[in-house]
Structures are given as structure tokens and as C-alpha cells.
Amino acid sequence: MKSLIKTLALSVALIAFTACNAKTKSPRLVVNPTKTQPTPNKQYIKVALLLDTSNSMDGLIDQAKAQLWDIVNELSYAKCGTNKPNLQIALYEYGNDNLNGAEGYIRQILAFSEDLDDISKELFSLTTNGGNEYCGQVIQTSLNQLNWGKNADDLKLIFIAGNEPFTQGSVSYKYAATNANEKDVTINTIFCGDYKQGISGYWREGAQLTNGDYMAINQNRKTVHIVSPYDDDILILNEKLNKTYIIYGDKGRQKLALQAEQDHNAISYSKANAVKRTVSKSSHLYKNSTWDLVDAIEENEVAVTDIKENALPSELKGKSDAEIKAYITKKSKEREAIQNEIQELNKKRTEYVLKQQKEKTNGLENAMIKAIKDQAKKKKYSWN
């Protein structure tokens, strides 16, 4: 009997061992390493914008509001190899007395985000107030808090803008630059004032330590908006574009309202700004898969069969899966056609504006785009 039990125990142990061994080794048996293709990298352009919001910086904030869409539109044409990189923008403010002094008068407004409506909303909500401006500390804070990732193909950039000496505060800009190099992050400095004054205030050295660009701008120079004969048609297309969005889930109604609010912010600033925002909305960088069914289905975020009835908009309640899919497909085709039309009109608009421009403005947009393109070349990025 003892011999039988012992034999059975050995058999059970052998079966368990075989099953366990089969579990751990079976993937190796089915995978042929010579045929396995690596998952393609998803490239990002990651931009952290650190803005001085002390009293003297109203002009800088004004330029940021005006030129966000110019910057986005320029980046929409970037390519890394054959791929179009995604864009993430993070926002910080510093040097404002309304902020927490124990934290260096620094506030993260927005972590890395692809939501262009959220970024626009936060820029339009910024206000200025006097304070202490600690450049080294705000750079280090952004390095610590943001998810910079480890993809070697990503373009990781900090743009810090201000007008006080770069040496203020307890955190050395040299220490922050060392950490930036470790994370493959390039620091670009934008001094708001005289070029030579910025150099004497160590803004140029702050950029050179990571092979970044040093720039000086006139933050109080008003952005010149050139009206084109194509603007009205582009804005009409924007209204049609908005009608292609299909809200779903808890965020849907709120985010659709935010989209309309940022359209209003843009047009209240200037007609040209609203046109540039519309062009951004026609690019691959304007993504709304968290609340729009067209984007969500295209990016495989949700499946129609998984959406609950109460998450659907009123026009789709009570519809079959086939009817819902047909409606989404229809809106998707409408959107693509409208976006293509906007892009074609924008080509004509861009040509017209370039002919009308007498000189390049010494502003935030030109400073940022030049630096981004120069540094992108080092990672084999190109522009269409």
C-alpha cells in the first residue's frame, strides 16, 4: 500500500512539474525569434513650457495664447522617419506671489497632455503677479514630476521664459542641467528683454549646458494678425467640423462644451487666431478619443459592442450595433473630407500671409519653432 501511495505521489508530482514546465516554456516553443517583429516605437515631441507669470510678464502670456496654434500647426508637419510623431505639452508657471513659497513659487498647471483644448484653457486662465523667479528650481521640478520616458527617438524639450537672472533660488541651474542631460532633455532659454542682458544673467549658459538654444524676445511686442481672403471659409468649415463629434461616456458633454469654449477664446482674441485653431483641429495632433466616438473607434480605444446604452448620445440610444457603426462611419468620412478641405485652404492662406509679412516677428513662436526644428534634425526628424 505504501509503495502504491508513493508511486501515486511521484506520478502527481511529475504531472505537476510537467504542466508547470510546459506553462513556462510553451511561449518559447511557439515564438520564432527570426520572424518576430518588434513593436514599432511611438514617437513623441514632448515640450514642457515654463512661463514666468510675475507682474512684468503679461506680454509673454499674451504671446503664448496667440501663438499656441501656430506652434501646433508647425509641429503637425514633423516626421520621424516615415512616422508622424505625437505631441505632448506640459505647462508650468513660476515667479508668482500667489503660488506656494515653500515650493519655490512654482505650480504645475498641466502634466504632459495631448489634449489641445485643455492646454488652451489653461493658457487663457493664467494671470500675473509679482514674485521670486527660481529658474533652476522650476526646471528641476519639471524634470522630477513629468514622465519624460526612455524612448531614444522622442524629442524632449524644455522652454523656460523669464526676465530675471537665471541664478536665483536655492537649486542651481547647473545641477538641473546635469539632470536634464541624464534624461536626454534639452533646455532652451527665452530671455524676455535685451539679448546681452540675458547673457549677463546666465540665460545663455543655462541653455548651452544641454546644447539648447538661447533666445531673447520682446515679450511686449504685439502679435501681428494678418487677415486672409480664406479665413471666413475656414471658420465656416470649423462649424461643420464640430458637428462631426459624437460624444460618449461621462466626459462627453463636458468636453464638447470645452471645445466650444476654446473656439470662443480663440475668436475673442482675434479672427486669425480662430483660423489657426481650426487648422490645428484638422491635423492628426487634435485627438479626442476619451469623449468622441469617431476618434475612439479609430484609435481602438473602445468597441461599439462594449458601449453601454446610457453612455451613448441621444441620437444613438435604442440603435442596433450595426446602425451605430454606420453612423460613426458616416461622421468619420464627413470629418476627413472637412479636414482635407481646411488643409487645402490653409495652404493658400499660408502663401498669402507669407507674401504680406514684411518681417519675422521677434516673438515666442519664432523662437520656439526655430529651436525645435534645429534640435529635431539631430534626431533625424524632418518637415514636409
The CA distance from 327 to 316, in Å, is 8
Residue 93, domain extent: 44-224+360-383
Q: Give the Cα-Cα-Cα angle 152, 156, 160 (nearest 5 degrees).
A: 160
Smallest CA-to-CA distance from 81 within 332, 381, 383, 384 is with 381
The reply to whether 285 and 369 lie within a common domain is no
Asked if 216 and 305 sit in the same domain, the reply is: no
Average pLDDT over residues 192-211: 95
As separate numbers, helices (DSSP H) first and strands (DSSP E) second, the chain gives 13, 8
Report how far residue 27's alpha carbon sits from residue 281's, in angstroms, rounded to the nearest whole number: 44
The set of cell numbers assigned to 303 is 468597441
Burial class (CB in 10 A: 0-12, 13-18, 19+), 147: exposed
- Mean pLDDT, to the nearest integer, of 1-30? 37
Q: What per-residue confidence (pLDDT) applies to 145?
A: 98
What average pLDDT does range 224-251 have in this prediction? 94
User: What is the distance between the alpha carbons of residues 278 and 246, in angstroms, rounded to a whole number?
Assistant: 18
Instruction: List helix spans (H) across 101-164.
Output: 116-125, 135-145
Mean pLDDT of 59-64: 87
User: Does residue 26 fall inside a structural domain?
Assistant: no
- The mean pLDDT value for 315-325 works out to 94
Give residue 219's pLDDT. Answer: 77
146 in Cβ contact with 112 (< 8 Å):
yes
Surface-to-core class of residue 77, CB atoms within 10 Å of its CB (0-12 exposed, 13-18 middle, 19+ buried): exposed
> What gap in Å lies between CA 290 and CA 300, rounded to an integer?
11
Of 278, 335, 277, residue with least CA distance to 65: 277
Examine the domain organization and report whether 147 and 244 are in the same domain.
no
Check whether residue 189 and residue 93 sit in a common domain: yes
For 107-142, the pLDDT digits (tens) are 999 999 999 999 999 999 999 887 789 999 999 999
| pLDDT on residue 360 | 60
Please tell me whether residues 102 and 220 are part of one structural domain.
Answer: yes
Domain membership flag for residue 58: yes
| Per-residue confidence band for 58, with pLDDT thresholds at 50, 70 and 90 | confident
Give the distance, in angstroms, between the CA of residue 239 and the centroid of all CA atoms in the same chain. Answer: 24
Q: Is the pLDDT of residue 146 over 80?
A: yes
pLDDT value of position 361: 60
CATH of the domain at 146: 3.40.50.410
In a domain, 31, yes or no: no
- What pLDDT score does 307 carry? 87
d(CA 84, CA 316): 33
CA 95 to chain centre: 24
Query: Domain check: are 245 and 135 in the same one?
Result: no
**pLDDT tens, position by position, 351-362:** 998 888 766 665
